[in-house]
C-alpha cells in the first residue's frame, strides 16, 4: 500500500516536469511588429486590383454604403474575434478552437486547408511579378513592340502621344495606330504567349522553365522571411509593410498630374445611388470585406497568439481596419487616375480600360505605364509594389500554417532547429504542388482554385461556425469577460450581438444567395467548365467544409460529455458568471473550473508583462 502511495505521489511531479519541458512559444518583440505583420497580411493586392474596380462597377461612392455596413457588422466582429481568440489561448489556428470547444476543432482544420490552398497557388502571382519586374528593366519593354516572336499578326506598335508628341502630325492618317484593340494586343501577346505560354491542350502542357525558376526564387525569399518565426517576420515587415505605401503614394502623385486623370477619378468615385437596389452589389460588398480582411483563414489567430496576454488587441484591430479600408479607397484614386490617362491617350472609354484582378496588374497597368516617358522607371516601381504586397501577405499565411502545425506537436517541433526544418518542408512541398500552375495551361488551374478553393462560399460557411461556436457554444458573455480581462476594459457591447445574431445572419443570407446564383464558368474566358473542372472545383470547395462535421462526429464518438467543455488551461477571470445571457435571462449557466486550475492560470497570467 505504501509503495503504491509513493508511486502515485512521484508520478505527479513527473507529469508536471514533462509539461515544463515543452519549450515556450515566441513573442513579438514589441507591439509595432504585430501591427505591421497584421497590416502586411490584410493590405495586399486586393486593395489595388479588386476594391477600386468593385467601387467603380457598383455605383462609385455609393458602393461605400453596403461596404461599410458589412464592415461594421461582419468584417470587424470576425477580425476581432479571431485576433482575440489567438491572444487569449496563445495557440495557433487549430489548437485554439480545440481548447475553446473540442467539438469544433474542425473549424480550425477547415481554415488551415484554406490557407494551404493559398500557400500553393498565391505565390504564383509573385512568380509572374518577378518575370515582369525583370522585363521592366529592358528598353524598350518587350510588351511595347510587335517585333517579338510571340506577337500575333494583328499586333501594331503604337507610340504614345504624351511620351512622343513629335511623332504625331495632324496631316498624317495614323488611325490604325490609334486603334485601342490593336494596342491592347501587344500586352496580351506578352502575357498569353510569352509569360503563360498557353497552348491549345486541355491539360497541363509543358513546364515553363523561366516561370518555374521565378517560382523557386519566390519561395526562397519567402522561406528566409519566416524561417525564424516571429523573430524574423518582425524585422522583415518593417520594410515589406511600409515601403509599398511609399511606392503607392509616388504612383498616386504621378497619376493625378496626368491628362485625363480627373475623368478617371470621376468614374471611380461618382455616386450612383440607383445601384444600391441591386442585390449583387451587396453581395460584392460582403465578398470584398471577407477577402480584404482575410478572415476565416486562422491567420489572425496565429498572429494574435504571439501577443502578450494584456495587449490591447481591440485597439489594434480598430486601427488596422481603418488602415485597410483607407488604403483601398486611396489606392482607387491612384489606379483610376492612371486608367483615366490611358483612356485619354488612346481615345478610349473608361469602360474599355477598367478591369480588375490579374487583368489590371498584368495588362491594363503595364499598358498604361508604357505610355509614360521613362516608362521603365514607373514599371519597376509598380511591379516592386506588387511583389511586396503579395510577399508579406503570402509569408504571413505560411507562418500561420507553420504555427498551427507546431502547436499541434509542441514537444517535437519547438525544439531548436526543428521549426526551420518544418518551414522548409512546407516550402518544398508547396513549391512542388505549385509547379502545375506554371505549365502552359496552368492559368486554367490557377483560376479554378482561386475561384473555388478560396471561394466566398467556404469563407461564409466557416464564418457562420466561428460566430456560432463563440456566441452560443462557448458563450458570448464568457468570451466578452475574457477580452475584458485581457485588455482591461469592456469593448463595444454591440460585438456580442453581432457574434450571436447579426454576423451569422448576414453570412447565412449571403451564402444562400451565392449558392443560388453560382455558375460553373471559367472567369478568364467565360467558358463553362467541363465535367473534370466542375469535379475539381467541387473538391476544392468541399474539402475544408467536410472537416467540420467529421470532427463533430469524432468528438461524439470519443467523449460526448466533454466535447463542448473548454480546456482547463484557459484562464477564466469570472468563472462563476453565466456564459451566456440575453436581456438578463440566463441562457447557459457558469461552468466552474477546478480551483487548482484557476490558481495555475492566474500565476501564468501574472508572468505576462502588460504592453
Task: Note if the bond before 561 is cis, omega within 30 degrees.
Answer: no
* Burial class of 528 by CB neighbour count within 10 A (0 to 12, 13 to 18, 19+): exposed
Provide the grid cell at 547. Answer: 472537416
As a dihedral over the C-alpha atoms of residue 80, residue 393, residue 66, residue 262, rounded to 10 degrees, the angle is 140
CA proximity to 578, closest of 587, 566, 589, 565? 589
SS3 of residue 588 by DSSP: strand
Number of Cβ atoms within 10 Å of the Cβ of 78 = 24
Beta bridge partners, 211, equal none
Check the annotation: does 292 bind a ligand. yes
CB of 218 closer than 8 Å to CB of 126: yes
Check the annotation: does 392 bind a ligand. yes
The C-alpha atoms of residue 59 and residue 62 are separated, in whole angstroms, by 5
CB of 26 closer than 8 Å to CB of 342: no
Check the annotation: does 106 bind a ligand. no
CA proximity to 36, closest of 306, 233, 249? 233
Check the annotation: does 381 bind a ligand. no
Positive/negative CA dihedral, 268, 270, 276, 278: negative
What is the crossing angle of helices 123-136 and 375-408, to 10°? 160
Number of Cβ atoms within 10 Å of the Cβ of 279 = 12
What is the crossing angle of helices 230-240 and 375-408, to 10°? 160
Q: Given the C-alpha cell 522585363, which residue does it identify?
A: 135
CA proximity to 42, closest of 450, 387, 397, 307? 397
Three-state SS string over 399-438 comes to HHHHHHHHHHCHHHHCCCCHHHHHHHHHHHHHHHHHHHHH
Q: Which helix (H) or strand (E) holds 542?
A: helix 531-559
DSSP state letters, 480-534: HHHHHHHHSS---THHHHIIIIIHHHHHHHHHHHHHHH---B-TTT-PBPPHHHH
Beta bridge partners, 528, equal 521
Q: Given the C-alpha cell 457588422, which residue does it identify?
A: 73
As a dihedral over the C-alpha atoms of residue 533, residue 539, residue 544, residue 550, rounded to 10 degrees, the angle is 170
Contacts of residue 246, defined as CB under 8 A and 6 or more positions apart, other chains included, come to none
For the annotated binding site for Na(+), the residues are 40, 43, 47, 292, 324, 389, 392
For the annotated binding site, the residues are 40, 43, 47, 292, 324, 389, 392
Amino acid at each position: 500500500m505504501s509503495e503504491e502511495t509513493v508511486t502515485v505521489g512521484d508520478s505527479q511531479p513527473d507529469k508536471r516536469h514533462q509539461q515544463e519541458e515543452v519549450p515556450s512559444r515566441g513573442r513579438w518583440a514589441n507591439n509595432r511588429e504585430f501591427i505591421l505583420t497584421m497590416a502586411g497580411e490584410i493590405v495586399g493586392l486586393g486593395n489595388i486590383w479588386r476594391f477600386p474596380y468593385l467601387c467603380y462597377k457598383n455605383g462609385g461612392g455609393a458602393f461605400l454604403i453596403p461596404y461599410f455596413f458589412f464592415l461594421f457588422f461582419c468584417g470587424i466582429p470576425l477580425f476581432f474575434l479571431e485576433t482575440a481568440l489567438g491572444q487569449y489561448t496563445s495557440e495557433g489556428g487549430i489548437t485554439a478552437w480545440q481548447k475553446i470547444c473540442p467539438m469544433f476543432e474542425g473549424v480550425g482544420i477547415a481554415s488551415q486547408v484554406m490557407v494551404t490552398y493559398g500557400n500553393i497557388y498565391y505565390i504564383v502571382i509573385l512568380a509572374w511579378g518577378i518575370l515582369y519586374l525583370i522585363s521592366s528593366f529592358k528598353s524598350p519593354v518587350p510588351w511595347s513592340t510587335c517585333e517579338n516572336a510571340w506577337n500575333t499578326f494583328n499586333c501594331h506598335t503604337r507610340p504614345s502621344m504624351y511620351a512622343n508628341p513629335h511623332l504625331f502630325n495632324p496631316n498624317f492618317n495614323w488611325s490604325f495606330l490609334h486603334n485601342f484593340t490593336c494596342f491592347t494586343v501587344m500586352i496580351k501577346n506578352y502575357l498569353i504567349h510569352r509569360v503563360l505560354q498557353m497552348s491549345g491542350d486541355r491539360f497541363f502542357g509543358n513546364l515553363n522553365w523561366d516561370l518555374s525558376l521565378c517560382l523557386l526564387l519566390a519561395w526562397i525569399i519567402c522561406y528566409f522571411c519566416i524561417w525564424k518565426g516571429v523573430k524574423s517576420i518582425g524585422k522583415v515587415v518593417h520594410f515589406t509593410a511600409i515601403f509599398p505605401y511609399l511606392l503607392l503614394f509616388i504612383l498616386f502623385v504621378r497619376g493625378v498630374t496626368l491628362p485625363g486623370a480627373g475623368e478617371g477619378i470621376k468614374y471611380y468615385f461618382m455616386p450612383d445611388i440607383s445601384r444600391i437596389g441591386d442585390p449583387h452589389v451587396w453581395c460584392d460588398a460582403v465578398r470584398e470585406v471577407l477577402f480584404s480582411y482575410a478572415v476565416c483563414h486562422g491567420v489572425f489567430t496565429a498572429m494574435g497568439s504571439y501577443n502578450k496576454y494584456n495587449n490591447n488587441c481591440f485597439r489594434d484591430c480598430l486601427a488596422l481596419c481603418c488602415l485597410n479600408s483607407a488604403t483601398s479607397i486611396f489606392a482607387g484614386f491612384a489606379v483610376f487616375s492612371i486608367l483615366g490617362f490611358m483612356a485619354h491617350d488612346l481615345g478610349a472609354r473608361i469602360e474599355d480600360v477598367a478591369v480588375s484582378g490579374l487583368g489590371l496588374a498584368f495588362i491594363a497597368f503595364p499598358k498604361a505605364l508604357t505610355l509614360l516617358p521613362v516608362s521603365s522607371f514607373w514599371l519597376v516601381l509598380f511591379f516592386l509594389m506588387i511583389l511586396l504586397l503579395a510577399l508579406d501577405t503570402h509569408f504571413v499565411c505560411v507562418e500561420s500554417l507553420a504555427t498551427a502545425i507546431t502547436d499541434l506537436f509542441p514537444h517535437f517541433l519547438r525544439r531548436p532547429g526543428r521549426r526551420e526544418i518544418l518551414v522548409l518542408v512546407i516550402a518544398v512541398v508547396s513549391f512542388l504542388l505549385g509547379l502545375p500552375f506554371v505549365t502552359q495551361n496552368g492559368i486554367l488551374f490557377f483560376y479554378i482554385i482561386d475561384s473555388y478553393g478560396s471561394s466566398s462560399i467556404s469563407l461564409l460557411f466557416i464564418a457562420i461556425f466561428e460566430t456560432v461556436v463563440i456566441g452560443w457554444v462557448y458563450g458570448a458573455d464568457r468570451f466578452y469577460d475574457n477580452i475584458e480581462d485581457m485588455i482591461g476594459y469592456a469593448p463595444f457591447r454591440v460585438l456580442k450581438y453581432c457574434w450571436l445574431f447579426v454576423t451569422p445572419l448576414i453570412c447565412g443570407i449571403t451564402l444562400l444567395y451565392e449558392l443560388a446564383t453560382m455558375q460553373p464558368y471559367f472567369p478568364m474566358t467565360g467558358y463553362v467548365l467541363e465535367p473534370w473542372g466542375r469535379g475539381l472545383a467541387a473538391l476544392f470547395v468541399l474539402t475544408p467544409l467536410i472537416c467540420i462535421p467529421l470532427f463533430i462526429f469524432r468528438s461524439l464518438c470519443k467523449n460526448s460529455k466533454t466535447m463542448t467543455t473548454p480546456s482547463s488551461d484557459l484562464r477564466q477571470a469570472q468563472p462563476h458568471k453565466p456564459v451566456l445571457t440575453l436581456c438578463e435571462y440566463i441562457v447557459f449557466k457558469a461552468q466552474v473550473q477546478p480551483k487548482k486550475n484557476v490558481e495555475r492560470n492566474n500565476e501564468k497570467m501574472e508572468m505576462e508583462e502588460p504592453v
